Amino acid sequence: MGSSNSHPNSADAQTESAPGSYRIESASNDSDPPSNQHRIQSPPLKSKLNEMEKSPRSSPVEQNNTTSQRFYRISISTLNLLELVDGYLNEPIVSLEEALEPVARTIIGLPTYIEEAKAKCHYPSKHGLSRDESAAIYIYTMPLKKKTFFDHFQEAWNSRSRSTMKPWVKYVRLFRSALDKLPRAKDEVWQGMANDVMLEKMLTSKPPFLYSCLGSCSPWNNEVVDYLQKNVSKNLMIVGYKSVNGRSVTGYTADQMDEVIIWPGAKLTPKYYVIVKETSSIIVHLVRQAGKLSCHIFMHFSVY
């Protein structure tokens, strides 16, 4: 992935699409409810974005199974999982070898993968990342023999156990140091999966707390939708994240994909959601809560 082809059409262009595809647009004003221009249309039209269409994009047909495991999980929780590594910022920034030494027994062949990551990572970096910082991002996206490194890392987070996350704290510190040097994502970023009824209920029932989890997102909503429709299901849950301080790791990944990583612990508000009646699919737009936790959650509901 990671081709240099740009979007062929401007934001004002109209294109026809195959039946069953979606049109999803980012809201242009975070304080206003979505207008008719910012909803799923029925009958559905092809996806298109506004400012993002002016940037290079990747081809969804080149996505592989490793990628699907990163982009196609929803990174939200009712618990703040960042508390599992409380105090990690006090850790010194160490080499990738030292950062991952505590988990070496759980990942077969880890020294070889570390060596590969340090050899193939994007270094020197125009963003000022050290070789170890760049390699920390590269290995995060690497396929291993049986699982991806991402799988091992996510399993530790999903345990919701401080003791399970403790061996990962040094890597979390190195990974965070790398991300802090990279550009923030200015536009809405996207994840998706087959529709989950329980998760849908949680998102649409005004939950008192929602937090971001560590996760990978695509800057292109149409790629998420296209891949899922072709490979997973027609009944989808698509989640957009806005203003969550995501960092673009494009150019630093093993598969050279356009990718944004969001960090755990951001308080999220469901701004609005849209249900596509024909396919029982749902699109949810989440934004980061500004300042202190607010009791007010604005949600706009539409059914087509």
DSSP string, 61-123: GG--HHHHHHHSS--EESS-GGGGGTTGGGSPP--HHHHHGGGGGGSTTHHHHHHHHHHHS--
Same domain, 196 and 296: yes
Residue 274, pLDDT > 50, answer: yes
Same domain, 235 and 261: yes
Residue 290 is predicted with a pLDDT of 72
Considering the domain architecture, whether residues 286 and 169 belong to the same structural domain is answered as: no
Instruction: Express as a percent the part of the chain with pLDDT over 70.
Output: 73
Instruction: Tell me whether residue 208 is in a domain.
Output: yes
Q: Phi then psi for 115, rounded to 5 degrees? A: -60, -45
Tell me if 284 is assigned to some domain: yes
For residue 95, tell me if it sits in a domain: yes
Pair (124, 95) in one structural domain: yes
Same domain, 93 and 40: no
| 102 shares a domain with 73 | no
Confidence class of residue 51 from pLDDT cuts 50, 70 and 90?
Answer: very low
Q: Which residues, 6 or more positions from 192, have their beta carbon under 8 angstroms from its beta carbon? A: 71, 72, 74, 224, 225, 228, 236, 237, 238, 239
Do residues 226 and 265 share a domain? yes
| Domain presence at residue 9 | no
The answer on pLDDT for 37 being more than 80 is no
Same domain, 192 and 296: yes
What pLDDT is attached to residue 232?
82
Q: Is residue 4 part of a domain?
A: no
Q: 72 with 200, same domain?
A: yes
Pick the last residue of a domain from 113, 146, 180: 180
294, pLDDT greater than 70: no
Q: Does 293 score more than 90 pLDDT?
A: no
What per-residue confidence (pLDDT) applies to 252?
98
* 74 and 110 co-located in one domain: no
Last residue of a domain, which of 180, 195, 219?
180
Same domain, 77 and 193: yes
Domain that holds residue 136: 82-180
The whole-number average pLDDT for the span 274-300 is 66
Same domain, 214 and 264: yes
Q: Is residue 30 part of a domain?
A: no
Our count of domains for the chain comes to 2
